[in-house]
Amino acid sequence: MKTILITGATSGFGEAIARLFAQNTDWQLVLTGRRQQRLDALQDELGGSSKVTTCCFDITDRNAVESTLDNLPSQFSDIDVLVNNAGLALGLEPADQTNLDDWEKMVDTNIKGLMYCTHKLLPKMRKRGQGYIINIGSIAGNWPYPGGNVYCASKAFVKQFSLALRADLLGSGIRVSNIEPGNAETEFSNVRFKANEQRAEKVYQGTVALTAQDIADTVWWLVNTPQHVNVTTMEIMPTEQANGPLAIYRRDS
Ligand code: NDP
Ligand code: 8X3
């Protein structure tokens, strides 16, 4: 039996990844998030406590992350795959008009939360001589856009951290991949626009976005590549999305 730990499993990519792996008898799941009710419902639906264990914590709380992961039920304590997925964007304002609390929350979640989980689980992977860390970065780490400011920067961190991990882990048997999705329809925009449904819906209007299932299928494929293969980076956009030209400011003539 293999064990996958998915952070942010209560919606979007994380939930779809959990559903996909739960269909397979080879896998047991550790699911994390802040919404206990959703975690309980997923546990019931995906096979009960013998197949799924849940950890309800705020990933920005270092002590909570460390003590919970230190005290996983023994059946779930050897993590084969860590999917660092929990994350969020808050706001789309120009840098000078943003709320500093939002910036801090993105750093605490997308960067520090990912660091806490990785740092806690890596030593055991190293000891076991195996493991797979799949980070969920973003095209935002490659292609900055107006209003992306700290969100883009946080995903650039994920990119570079993933590459640096590869360097540190050479010879350890541990694999590291960074998936960089583009526009995908999840609760992401509801969170970014703070429950402004209309604004969130507009992000996906008139275009075919990626689905959470697309990213789950990607994770499944990655995990099932042979042990000697390491896909370092995967940028995945909807067909109906592309990077734009550089912008030029023109004075009134
Ligand atoms: P969702 O909002 O649907 O899911 C986000 C998940 O992260 C939830 O399960 C949420 O759980 C969890 N999470 C957020 N903050 C915390 C926290 N402080 N502590 C614990 N868990 C937390 O969005 P997505 O599925 O789209 O996002 C997943 C990842 O994919 C994120 O890292 C996002 O940046 C990235 N991404 C998304 C894209 C998109 O267009 N949707 C594109 C590229 C990357 P809970 O609220 O229960 O805590
Ligand atoms: C989410 C995709 O382009 O909204 O990471 O930043 S984008």
Mean pLDDT of 148-175: 98
Q: Is the pLDDT of residue 223 over 70?
A: yes
Q: What percent of the chain has pLDDT over 90?
A: 99
Distance 60 CA to ligand 1 centre (A): 13
Query: Residue 252: what pLDDT?
Result: 84
Q: Is the CB of 36 under 6 A from ligand 1?
A: no
Cα(14)–Cα(212) distance, integer angstroms: 8
User: pLDDT digits over 10-57, tens only?
Assistant: 999 999 999 999 999 999 999 999 999 999 999 999 999 999 999 999
Q: Is 116 exposed, middle or buried (0-12, 13-18, 19+ CB in 10 A)?
A: buried
Distance 191 CA to ligand 1 centre (A): 9
Ligand nearest to the CA of 145: 2
For the chain, the average pLDDT equals 98
Query: Residue 253: what pLDDT?
Result: 65
Q: Is the pLDDT of residue 99 over 90?
A: yes
pLDDT class of 190 with cuts at 50, 70, 90 = very high
Catalytic residues, by residue number, are 151
User: What is the set of domains in the chain, with CATH numbers?
Assistant: 2-236 (3.40.50.720)
Distance 137 CA to ligand 2 centre (A): 9
Helices (H), 88-133: 100-106, 114-128
Q: What percent of the chain has pLDDT over 70?
A: 100
Mean pLDDT of 159-181: 98
Q: Which numbered atom of ligand 2 lies nearest the CA of 155?
A: 5
Distance 213 CA to ligand 2 centre (A): 17
CA-to-CA separations, 146 to 80, 94, 101, 143, 152, in angstroms, rounded = 38, 7, 19, 10, 10
Six token digits for residue 205: 């209007």
Six token digits for residue 64: 């909570």
Q: Give the phi and the psi of residue 192 in degrees, each rounded to 5.
A: -60, -45
Cα(202)–Cα(196) distance, integer angstroms: 10
Predicted TM-score (pTM) of this structure: 0.98
From 151, 178, 202, 203, give the residue whose CB has the most ligand 2 atoms within 8 Å, as the site to mutate.
151
From 92, 183, 185, 215, give the residue whose CB has the most ligand 2 atoms within 8 Å, as the site to mutate.
183
Mean pLDDT of 169-188: 98
User: pLDDT digits over 240-251, tens only?
Assistant: 999 999 999 999
Q: Which numbered atom of ligand 1 lies nearest the CA of 183?
A: 40
